[in-house]
Amino acid sequence: MASLIVSNIQKRPTRTIVSILAVSVGVVMILLFVGLAQGLLKDSAHRLQNVKADIVFQPPGSSLLLALNSATMPIKVGDRLLEVEGVRHVAPMVHQFSKKSFSLIFGIDPDAFNQVSGGGLVIMSGRVFQAPYECIVDDIYQKSHQTRLGDQLRILNHDFTITGIFKSGIAARMLVPLQTLQELNDSPGKVSMFYVKCDNPAAIERVYQHLSNQPPFKGYSVTKASDIYNVMASNLPGLQEFTTAIIIVSVLISFLVILLTMYTTITERTREIGILKSLGASKGYIVRLILQESILLTAIGIGIGIALSFVTERILHRLYPSLPIEIRPEWIGYVILIALVSGVLGSTYPAWRAARQDPVEALMYE
């Protein structure tokens, strides 16, 4: 059976290549799009967590997907937070989503930020901003945009001078003075969130419960740093739907191409199916033959698709270092399963049809 399957696949190289490519495209779509969604999510969560705050405090109804929020919380709330027992430092933050660079810009108070993060903002070259229209960027931004110290950066229709490069993996890729961003946002005295640092790890739960349940903080959005990723993943609007849509489209592509390939294959091979029946091949044998052929095509497609996904991820990473794509091992497992199921489903009807062919009619087929 193996030699027959291999010879059938070799016999029509164009069709074989198209089928394999279709499966590969499905695999690449799932791995890259899901990887991009998860990579963005994880990257955002990590950068939030790397601030080393114990708690993130936001206005009521806010999302951890910062691009969805705006600065609505009075900065004076920070003073009230400092009064809570167990709170050591508080750092305000304003953010703005830049459509131009498709990234977040944070407005921070460097001193307060460094107090919370314990010196987590590491300046690799230059210095932190001191004037209103100065900014610092992380090393990934610097690399991907080929910027240098002293360059001008256009942010919200204003020119900012780059004064320093900081080590990536914390906060945002671009940091500007808190007050400047408040003014440019037309929300002076307002902030988007506070990073809260507690006295010690034992105080975190107590502070969290207090901020969550006690007036005047009740109703605000309070998240422990350790929960950031899970809260983001569960609250991110449309992530599940997006992933499902990508899977459905990929499954449909693989399913339809395999269906079409195997259907035309069995039509072309009607006579061969008749010969197999004359040799005593059972319906089960013919079904297995068709299914195994489609599984082989799918398996090759999966292998190529996985390899292509990693190659594309590497190329994208090189071209756009700030684009975080994360191909997780469990998704490789899922994608193998999804593609195999669509391959088998796509060949089920052709296999059933082949098995039911009348042997005499099949033998007379021209």
Q: Which residues bind another protein (CB under 8 A)?
A: 1, 3-4, 7-8, 10-11, 271-272, 274-283, 285, 359-360, 363
- From the CB of 14, what's the least distance to another protein, in Å? 15
The residue (of 4 and 248) whose beta carbon lies closer to another protein is: 4
320: three-class secondary structure by DSSP: coil
Taking the complex as a whole, the smallest distance from the CB of residue 279 to another protein amounts, in Å, to 5
Alpha-carbon gap, residue 366 to 347, rounded angstroms: 23
Using a 10 angstrom Cβ sphere, with 0-12 exposed, 13-18 middle and 19 or more buried, the burial of residue 100 is exposed
CB of 134 or CB of 293, closer to another protein: 293
Q: Quote the least distance from Cβ 147 to another protein, whole Å.
A: 60
- Based on CB atoms, which residue is closest to another protein, 209 or 282? 282
The CA distance from 69 to 227, in Å, is: 19
Residue 332, C-beta contacts closer than 8 angstroms, at least 6 positions apart: 31, 306
Nearer to another protein, 315 or 360 (CB): 360
How near is the Cβ of 358 to another protein at its closest, in Å? 8
Using CA atoms, how far residue 362 sits from 84, 153, 286, 365, 366, in Å, is: 84, 72, 13, 5, 9
At 156, give phi and psi (nearest 5°). Answer: 50, 50
Which of residues 14 and 157 has its CB atom nearest to another protein in the complex? 14
Alpha helices, H only, the chain: 2-11, 13-29, 35-49, 77-83, 110-117, 139-145, 178-184, 201-213, 228-235, 239-268, 270-278, 283-319, 329-355, 359-364
The least CB distance from residue 45 to another protein, in Å, is 54
With respect to another protein, which residue has the nearer C-beta, 330 or 366? Answer: 366
Whole-number Å distance between alpha carbons of 352 and 8: 18
* CB 16, min distance to another protein, A: 13
